[in-house]
Amino acid sequence: MTVNSRKKIKRGVYPGTFDPITNGHIDLIKRSLVLFEEVIVAIAPSPHKHPLFDVNERLEMIRDSVATLKCVDVEVFDGLLVDYVRKKKAASVIRGLRAVSDFEYELQMALMNRKLDPRIETVFLMPSEEYSYLTSSIIKAVSGHGGDVRDLVPPVVWKSLQKRFQKT
């Protein structure tokens, strides 16, 4: 059996706040499509994080950013992730690991999700090296101080950041 002839898993859910989505997130979505027939990008509103963009703005930016990718859906979810994954009849949660510092938190979340529903697996993917340091927080901080992040985010995000941080 060749790599390309392996059967893909039906559906995976890639959850996050995505405030805003970065090229690192897009990289993980593309990597996920190698493993899954369909990927659902599930946006958590996360008001406790005080997002820069509201959930509808994030939804539109992500939809625009993945418009050319087949088999990617973008939705908002609220509540327990395992409940959402079950509702969507997905097999796995997709998470990115950039560095060792991500591992402890992601392991705790994966183990808690497994405790809540042992049928749901977490799949950890590493981004391309060029995005291994990239976070939405870094993007917001650099952009908020006038730094050029256009090579690190999709064009729609770059435009939205420019508009949001415009000096008046």
Q: Which residue numbers are catalytic?
A: 25, 49, 98, 136
Six token digits for residue 70: 């087949």
**Separation CA 8–CA 154 (nearest Å):** 27
Q: How far is CA 51 from CA 57, 58, 69, 104, 150, in A?
A: 11, 10, 26, 23, 20
Six token digits for residue 102: 């991500």
Please say whether the beta carbons of 59 and 76 come within 8 A. yes
Please say whether the beta carbons of 46 and 18 come within 8 A. no
**Separation CA 79–CA 76 (nearest Å):** 10
- Report the candidate in 153, 148, 151 with the shortest Cα–Cα distance to residue 135: 153
